[in-house]
Every structure is written in structure tokens, then in C-alpha cells.
Amino acid sequence: MSENNGQGGDDEPRTVFIPQPSAPVPPPESGAAAGSSASSGWGTPPPEQVAPAAPEAVEPPPVSAAPENPPASAPPALAETEFPGATAFQMTAGQMTSEPRDVREGDVLNHLYQVRRFIARGGMGQVFEGVNINNEDERVAIKVILPHLARDPNVLAMFRKEARTLTRLSHPALVQYRTLAMEPQLGVFYIVTEYIDGRNLSDVLSTIEASPAQLLALIRTLAEGLAVAHSLGAIHRDISPDNIMLEGGRLERAKVIDFGIAKDLDAGSQTIVGDGFAGKLNYVAPEQLGDFGRQVGSWTDVYSLGLTILALINKRDVNMGGSLVDAVDKRRAGPDLTPVPAEVRPVLEAMLRPNPADRLRTMEDVIAAVGASGTSAAPVAQPAPTPPPAKAKAPPKPKSAATEGGEANQRKVLIGAGVAAAVVLLGGLGYVFSSGGDEAAEVAPAGAPKAPVAGDDPLKTAQAALDAGLTSVGCSWLDVSDLQVQGSDVALAVRGVAGRPVDAQNEIGKLLSARGLRAASIDFSEVSQISPNDCGPIEAFRQIRGKGASHLSVPQVKWELAKRPAGEPDAGQLGAPVVINFDLNGVGGDIGLVGIEENGTMEFVEGADRAYLAQDEVGPQRYRLKLSTTHTGWSGVFLLWGNGPFEPALFDGTTASRGGDWAQRFLAEAKAKGWQSDMVWYKTVNEQPD
């Protein structure tokens, strides 16, 4: 954001008003309709122009609709995904922008993730520890895919299909996928997940002492996480001890890792693994080896989870492998359950029946079996969910075997990892990060959250908790886009921005827990990470945030820079014609606009009042404003309303120039004049050839 009203040199990055558009723009992604436009710098609009005939208001798409790229800058693309704290990247099948080279320590991927150290090399690529350069407390795991796989159009097609599912997985017992992208400068395709600092279950099988109650609690925890994955159509197909990570070495913090690309359940669909199976021979289900019509589904993960718990009880890997023939025979005979405690045996027996029709069919069935075991499962401490990230739905109700039997004909994404007698792509994405030492993993039960008060409406309780507490979540501007409740389990989807999405998601989980509710799923797929430099202004403006519906929206979050046409500001330069939509229904008094950039610099937009917005009115109290932004990164627009005037000097400048007491001065002025606020964020990128 320039401090000279956009009148700097030709190459100066800035945000500039643009004259009213002569062509329609995409509809807004939230409830507001399209809004006003203009020309000049952030600070001063141009002289008033004769307002053109107001175009018809365009109906907005549903809130859940994914943002689209500007039509003018979007080439035919094979894949496009967008994730919190990252950028959506497009690729045409088999195409990379440069010759791939090896990733090295110190490399920065897409100006976001720095590679810190090499961890491991596998058949599908290399795994590194990395960090978000905008927030060095955010450690990540980076899986760089081998170039020949990244160039394979079949791989990219599968990648595109499963990216939307992987990044929606959101549960404390599931590894969180952050980004699936292509680094254009290095020419590499990579995946980013949360970094799990802990021990791998397979490494500590011989040292863990778990009581029957703790075993049942572990089954329940992992089943709850997998139920969320299954509700999104994601079947793991490789549940085994080395795909269970113990965060901090603690059994109650178990997470399922190593989701990856496998094959589609639809028998008629194209697959990469052919007729092979995904999974390790010791832990795969009979149907993965060809028995029972090869019908793979949620019941497949049920079987593998049962064998994983059996290995924990035996303190060693199960002996269910050998040759393929041996593996089939051992499953038909059934594993030896003699060492299994009596309290746990009925659950494992039901999970490990060879025929899927006789087995527990869903993870909800497993959870119900644990509850009916007659033994109180030791509560497993549930940390608040980590970010995912599309719409979270509450896990479905348990289905009967007859109902589940028809699922083989439905299209689902099957997600597996590992290699055994077949190729499985993109395995090891969660990977295992050892914290060192050979001490036994701790198993410490924790108290369960209090139950809701009898007679309370859980939905109203959840809404009240979020209404009261969402505005207190640090360095964030968030809205709930979907809320569902089953009993005391809450599934919600959130959109907006946060300086630390992980912390914001944890705080929301605590808000619900304090009301006796459990966050079964908190979908942060539409929450983007912004710079810590913006936290101060966000915290201040959020304290006077207006109630009710949002008054600002954008038709899309991400905008591609392209050469600006003649006759517009910044003609010949790279810029993005960003559209801001205003709905001023319910907004009283004077209004003012404040722009903010990624580095925390703010500037008051002088002259952008109601009369100015009225030049492009698209409906009753609904307007459209068009901005030209010539830099990459995040930008925000704050809307203020109340009693004017709004003094530009109160807002203009950098974080340092505004002074350490700026928030106090701003809030004192806001209180005295009855100000309220709203805001919207957008991101400008330069990903396509210019």
C-alpha cells in the first residue's frame, strides 16, 4: 500500500482505484451482492464521474462454493487447490515451468515454506522438515515428489482428485494436510503436512503397557478420527502401527498418518495401482488380498485397526504375513486372540471377522461396540483439532450391513500408503519424526469434558458459545459458515483469516469444550494465514466488529496479476483488478475505508464515502468497488461506520510510525464516536506466465 496516494514510480507496488467496470464481474462468494469502483491511489478517489446505469444484481453462489480464479488469467488447468496459509497452484498435465532440481536445505517453496533439514528418502520422494517463513513457530513436514511421478498425467489426475479430500481431513487423531502445490522455480511438486514431534507406535510396541480401559480408549480415539475421514469418502487402507504417530510419545495423543494416493473404489475408474492392494501385508484386510469380491470400504480400515490394536497387546507385530498365499490362509483362519484382555476381546473379535459382511462395518459401529463393552474406556485427552482443511460434516450415523453393502457402487476416494506387492503413490506424507530416546511411551488418561446440562439445546449452546467467544480468538477475523450438532458432538466450518490458524482452531475447540460440547470436526479449509504484522490492527478493529451479517465480500479470495490494459491505472504494469462488494444495509452514520498490507502498513482511503460508492450501485444499499493491486501478497480492507469524521492521521503509516499506543488511541476514538467495523481480505499472486 503506497503512502503517496498511488503516485509513486511505475514499478512501485500499490493498490489503486479503477474506473467503473464496463463488463460484469464474478458474483460474490458470500451473501453480499456486487459493489462500487473508482480510480487513483488507496488514499484519494478521483473526481466524481457520471454513474453508469446500475447493472442487475447477481445472485451469489452458495457459501460453500470454492473461490474461482479470474477468467481472464486462468489457463486450462489440471489441478487447482487452495489451503490455509498457502497459495493455489495450477498445472497442465505433464507441464512444469522449469527443469526440476533437487531440493536443498535453505530452499524456500512458493515464498512460504523453507526447507530446514532432510529426514528420509522413499520410493515416492524425499521428506524434509520445514518451517513457515511467516511464522517460524509453525514447523511442517515437506514431501517432495519424484520428478518422473510429478510429470505423469495419471499421477496429477489422481493428485487433483484427492487433494480436495486430504486437505479437508480435520480431527485431533488425523495428521493435517496443509498444502499440495508446485514450486515453479525449482520445478518440483510437493506436499506439506503438520510436523508431528513424537514417537512411532511401531517403534515402541514392546515398551507400552496399556490397561484394557486405555486400549478401548485408543480404539475409540482412532475410530473417531477415521470416521471423519470416512464421512468425506477417504478410506486409508494402510492402518498399521507404523502409520500411528504418538505425539510427544503419548498414547492418548495418537494420530493416524500416511494418507496418500491409492485408487478409486469405482471398479470402472482409472487407477494407478492396478489390481494390486494398498497396505502392508501383515495388516491388510482379506478383501485387499482378493477375498470376498475385493470390496474395499470403511470395513477394511476396521479390520486393519483391529490388527494394529492386537499388535499393541502382543507387544510385537502380528504374524499375518509371509507369502500372499500364507497371508490369505491366516486371515481365513483368524488371528490368535488368546492374549487379548477379556474386556477388549469382544470388540476385536467383531472387528477381525474375515467376511466383511460379518464384521463391524463402520467406525461408528466400532465406537458403539466400545461403548457396549461394559468397561469404561479411560478418557483420552483430546487436543483441539489442528487445521485442515471445504465443508465439514458431522460423521454419519452407523449403518447396517445391508446399507453398507451398497457402498461399493458409490464413488469414493480411497486413500492409502505403503508398498507391498503393488505401487502406492505419495505414501509417507505424515511421516514419522522421532524425538529421540527409548523410554516407554507414557499413557496418561485425562478427564472428559463436562456433559451439556440436561434440557439444553446443543445447537443453541454451540451458537451461543461461538457468538460469545469467536471475536476473542487471537489475531483472527472469522465467521462460521456451517454448524451441525449431533448430541454433544459439533461439526463446524469456519472462513476468514488468522495469524496462527492452529491456535485459532484450538481456541474454538476450547470454547465448545467449556460449554460441554466436543469439537468432532472444525473445518479451517477456508481460513488463510496472514502475516503477524497485521495482528495489531486486526485485534483493534475486531473489538468494535459489527454484529450480524457481513457487509464486505470478494467474489474470490485469490487474484492473478496480469498486464493492465491501456486507459486504466497502472496501464502496462502487472496488476489485479480486485472487486470489493459492499452491502450497507443496516450500516448507519458516516462510513470510511482503511486499507492494510501484509507488512502492517495502513492507509485511510480519503473520499470513499457513501456518495462515492453510489457511483456503482448494484442494488438497494449494495455497491461495487474495484481496486488495482500491483504487488503479490495479502491485502485487507476495513469498513468503518458511525459518527465521523475519520481522521486519516489516526490510521496512516507503518506499525512503528503509528506508535505502541495506537490501539488505545483508536479504541478511545471509536468508543467516543460509536464506530463499528467489518473487513475483508484478498490475496494477489503472480503464478501464470505474463
**Cis ω before 387 (30° cut-off from 0):** no
Most confident of 82-86, 201-205, 369-373, 570-574: 201-205
Least confident of 109-118, 503-512, 537-546: 503-512
CA 265 to chain centre: 24
- Write down the pLDDT at residue 99: 59
Residue 346 lies in a domain: yes
Both 92 and 232 in one domain: the answer is no
pLDDT range class, residue 428, cuts 50, 70, 90: very low
Decide which of 512, 532, 552 is a domain's last residue. 532
Q: Is the overall model pTM greater than 0.75, yes or no?
A: no
Residue 483 lies in a domain: yes
Question: Cα separation of 603 and 5, whole Å?
Answer: 9
Both 228 and 256 in one domain: the answer is yes
In the chain, the percentage of residues whose pLDDT exceeds 70 is: 68
Residue 660 lies in a domain: yes
Helix (H) or strand (E) holding 135, with range, is: strand 135-145
Decide which of 532, 560, 589 is a domain's last residue. 532
- Write down the pLDDT at residue 85: 32
Give me the amino acid identity at 639: L
- Write down the pLDDT at residue 53: 39
- Write down the pLDDT at residue 663: 92
Alpha-carbon distances of 2 from 297, 333, 410, 652, rounded to whole Å: 56, 74, 54, 10
- Write down the pLDDT at residue 162: 65
- Write down the pLDDT at residue 13: 57
Both 562 and 623 in one domain: the answer is yes
pLDDT digits (tens, 9 = 90+) for 22-56: 334 444 443 333 333 333 345 445 444 433 333 33
Average pLDDT value for residue range 154-158: 69
Residue 640 lies in a domain: yes
Average pLDDT value for residue range 362-371: 92
Both 189 and 212 in one domain: the answer is no
Picking from 74, 46, 68, the residue whose alpha carbon sits closest to that of residue 568 is 46
Question: What CATH number is given to the structural domain containing 169?
Answer: 3.30.200.20
pLDDT range class, residue 257, cuts 50, 70, 90: confident
Residue 309 lies in a domain: yes
Most confident of 64-73, 302-311, 539-548, 555-564: 302-311
More confident: 580 or 152: 580
- Write down the pLDDT at residue 45: 54
Q: Cβ neighbours of residue 189 under 8 Å, at least 6 residues apart? A: 91, 144, 145, 149, 150, 159, 181, 182, 183
CA atoms within 13 A on the CB side of 674: 7
Least confident of 77-91, 363-377, 641-655: 77-91
Whether 412 shows a pLDDT value over 50: the answer reads no
- Write down the pLDDT at residue 260: 57
Alpha-carbon distances of 565 from 79, 104, 167, 287, 571, rounded to whole Å: 28, 40, 37, 60, 5
- Write down the pLDDT at residue 63: 33
Q: Cβ neighbours of residue 561 under 8 Å, at least 6 residues apart? A: 73, 574, 575, 576, 630, 632, 684, 685, 686, 690
Question: Cα separation of 153 and 144, whole Å?
Answer: 17
Could you tell me if 35 and 622 are in contact, meaning their C-beta atoms sit under 8 angstroms apart? yes
pLDDT digits (tens, 9 = 90+) for 356-366: 999 999 999 99
Q: Is 136 left (phi over 0), alpha (psi -120 to 50) or beta?
A: alpha
Decide which of 162, 194, 226 is a domain's last residue. 194
- Write down the pLDDT at residue 186: 83
Could you tell me if 490 and 483 are in contact, meaning their C-beta atoms sit under 8 angstroms apart? yes
Both 342 and 488 in one domain: the answer is no
pLDDT range class, residue 640, cuts 50, 70, 90: very high
- Write down the pLDDT at residue 54: 37
The angle formed by the CA atoms of residues 404, 382 and 428, to the nearest 5 degrees, is: 65
- Write down the pLDDT at residue 153: 75
- Write down the pLDDT at residue 291: 87
Question: Cα separation of 115 and 94, whole Å?
Answer: 25
Whether 434 shows a pLDDT value over 90: the answer reads no
Both 245 and 315 in one domain: the answer is yes
Question: What CATH number is given to the structural domain containing 428?
Answer: 1.10.510.10
Could you tell me if 249 and 198 are in contact, meaning their C-beta atoms sit under 8 angstroms apart? yes
User: In the block, which residue shows the cell 464521474?
Assistant: 49
- What is the DSSP track for 500-540? -HHHHHHHHHHHHHHTT-EEEEEEEEEEEE--GGGHHHHHH
Both 181 and 271 in one domain: the answer is no
Question: What CATH number is given to the structural domain containing 478?
Answer: 3.30.300
Question: Cα separation of 465 and 478, whole Å?
Answer: 14
- Write down the pLDDT at residue 415: 36
Q: What are phi and psi of 664, to 5 degrees?
A: -65, -45
More confident: 167 or 229: 229
Question: Cα separation of 82 and 558, whole Å?
Answer: 9
Both 27 and 99 in one domain: the answer is no
pLDDT range class, residue 375, cuts 50, 70, 90: low
Whether 394 shows a pLDDT value over 80: the answer reads no
User: In the block, which residue shows the cell 506439506?
Assistant: 192
Whether 538 shows a pLDDT value over 80: the answer reads yes
Whether 513 shows a pLDDT value over 60: the answer reads yes
Whether 552 shows a pLDDT value over 90: the answer reads yes
- Write down the pLDDT at residue 315: 94
Both 104 and 185 in one domain: the answer is yes
Whether 504 shows a pLDDT value over 60: the answer reads yes
In the chain, the percentage of residues whose pLDDT exceeds 90 is: 30
- Write down the pLDDT at residue 629: 87
Average pLDDT value for residue range 311-328: 89
Pairing of strands 558-560, 676-685: parallel
Residue 8 lies in a domain: no
Both 568 and 636 in one domain: the answer is yes
- What is the DSSP track for 186-197? TTEEEEEEE--E
Whether 135 shows a pLDDT value over 70: the answer reads yes
Which residues constitute the domain of residue 509?
458-532
More confident: 158 or 385: 158
Average pLDDT value for residue range 444-471: 64
pLDDT range class, residue 623, cuts 50, 70, 90: very high
Both 114 and 56 in one domain: the answer is no
Whether 20 shows a pLDDT value over 50: the answer reads no
Question: Cα separation of 106 and 129, whole Å?
Answer: 11
Picking from 5, 122, 135, 161, the residue whose alpha carbon sits closest to that of residue 530 is 135
pLDDT digits (tens, 9 = 90+) for 197-225: 888 899 899 999 999 999 999 999 999 99
Average pLDDT value for residue range 305-325: 92
CA dihedral 457, 460, 465, 467 (to 10 degrees): -170
Average pLDDT value for residue range 614-642: 90
Question: Cα separation of 42 and 562, whole Å?
Answer: 20
Residue 228 lies in a domain: yes
Helix (H) or strand (E) holding 263, with range, is: strand 261-264
- Write down the pLDDT at residue 80: 30
Average confidence score pLDDT of the chain: 73
Beta strands in 499-645 (DSSP E): 518-529, 552-553, 558-560, 562-563, 574-583, 590-597, 602-605, 617-619, 622-629, 633-642
Residue 259 lies in a domain: yes
Which cell numbers in the block locate residue 517? 460440547
- Write down the pLDDT at residue 19: 42
More confident: 20 or 445: 20
Whether 332 shows a pLDDT value over 60: the answer reads yes
Picking from 503, 512, 504, 515, the residue whose alpha carbon sits closest to that of residue 479 is 504
pLDDT digits (tens, 9 = 90+) for 474-490: 889 998 888 888 777 88
Both 553 and 609 in one domain: the answer is yes
pLDDT range class, residue 679, cuts 50, 70, 90: very high
Residue 137: strand, helix, or coil: strand
Number of domain units in the chain: 4
Question: Cα separation of 234 and 249, whole Å?
Answer: 27
- Write down the pLDDT at residue 351: 97
Least confident of 309-318, 387-396, 541-550: 387-396
pLDDT range class, residue 690, cuts 50, 70, 90: low
More confident: 426 or 653: 653
Q: Is 650 left (phi over 0), alpha (psi -120 to 50) or beta?
A: alpha
Rg (CA), the chain: 27
Question: Cα separation of 73 and 71, whole Å?
Answer: 6
